[in-house]
Amino acid sequence: MPRTAVVALGGNAITRVGQAGTHAEQAANARAMAHTVCALRDAGWGVIVVHGNGPQVGCLSIQQDAARETVPVQPLFCLGAMTEGQLGSLLTLALHDACGGRLPAVVSVVTHVVVAADDPAFAHPTKPIGPFFDEQEARRLAAERNWTVAPDAERGYRRMVASPRPLRFLELEVITALVERGALVVAAGGGGVPVVEDGHAYRGVDAVVDKDLAAQQLATQLGVEALVMVTDVEQVMLDYGTPDARPITAMTADEAQRHLEDDQFPDGSMGPKVRAAIAFVRAGGRTAVITNSERAARSLDPAPSDAAVGTRIVAASTSLGAVS
């Protein structure tokens, strides 16, 4: 396989805070993300794009409920497949546009991710999807629709669904073959369609897999060199929100783990990304990066003048000086 990076894009990057989520808004945001991916390709990297779908799958769920008297409501894992196809198409068109015809092929693969039927996450829904509501409206919807709701990111209440740990991908061999043929692949969208083993077959389960953990598992199982998690900040911060806040340029997996244990990275913020980065490098990955779209391409091969681009997480045996 050529030098390859898995790039994780958040669903909130495609429908941004304050936006209604119209097709025009999502298409414009997808084009901005596509320029980042094209810059990595131009720098000599093969790229696999993994995207989130939290806002989109939640909004589709609301549309389903609103039309339940007219058409049958589909289960949540079906909505995940629908948004994986929709966003995969959106990103495919954006990538062709942004890369100006330089891409040999862009392929979006509807990906199924195997999870454990007895994963504790099914009993404790923690994954936010859909729009924000005030507390009164959230409680009303929870009672009407049998939802679990909870505060999220201090911006209101959202619906919470189960988010089991991703174990493996049914389409892994196909994704590998496409990358080896030079294609830019969009895969494991929304974390993938969650399924559990059912004898010799599989069945869908209602959940939304965390896209950062899915991106890490896909990167690890493919054996790629780098994992890039694109967010809305240039670098991870220690003591965020305090007068002592300071950015981190690089840290080892062990240092990142200690910061996690010190509650530096909350679950509703950088926690999932840092956990994914630790797991990736401990499983043999060379570098994990957390940064914004403007700096993602430069973060993997920084020039000396770009030493502070992004936050890089590496194995304990790696020299931080060589990657910071």
pLDDT per residue as tens digits for the range 171-218 = 999 999 999 999 999 999 999 999 999 999 999 999 999 999 999 999
Answer yes or no: 268 catalytic. no
Answer yes or no: 223 catalytic. no
Answer yes or no: 127 catalytic. yes
Answer yes or no: 273 catalytic. yes
Residues of the chain with CATH 3.40.1160.10: 4-114+165-322
Distance CA 18, CA 39 (A): 28
Answer yes or no: 11 catalytic. yes
The active-site residue out of 54, 192, 211, 310 is 211
The active-site residue out of 11, 52, 54, 190 is 11
Instruction: Pinpoint the alpha helices (H) of the chain.
Output: 11-14, 23-42, 54-66, 76-98, 135-145, 172-180, 211-222, 253-261, 271-282, 296-300
Q: pLDDT band at 295, cuts 50/70/90?
A: confident
For the stretch 244-272, pLDDT in tens is: 999 999 999 999 999 999 999 987 679 99
The active-site residue out of 130, 273, 285, 310 is 273
Tell me which fold the domain 4-114+165-322 belongs to.
Answer: Carbamate kinase (3.40.1160)
Distance CA 40, CA 99 (A): 11
Q: pLDDT band at 323, cuts 50/70/90?
A: very low
How confident is the model over 18-26, as a mean pLDDT?
Answer: 92
pLDDT score of 321 more than 50: no
Region of poorest pLDDT, from 158-172, 256-270, 271-285, 297-311: 297-311
The active-site residue out of 10, 12, 46, 192 is 12
Residue listed under structure tokens 């994990």: 288
- Long-range contact list for 118-123, CB < 8 A, 24+ apart? 119/162, 119/164, 119/165, 121/162, 121/163, 121/164, 121/165, 121/207, 122/162, 122/164, 122/205, 122/207, 123/162
Mean pLDDT of the chain: 91
Contact, 215 vs 188, CB < 8 A? yes
The active-site residue out of 29, 88, 127, 191 is 127
For residue 60, the SS3 value is helix
Distance CA 113, CA 62 (A): 24
pLDDT, residue 261, reads: 95
pLDDT, residue 324, reads: 36
- Cα 252 to the chain's mean position, in Å? 22
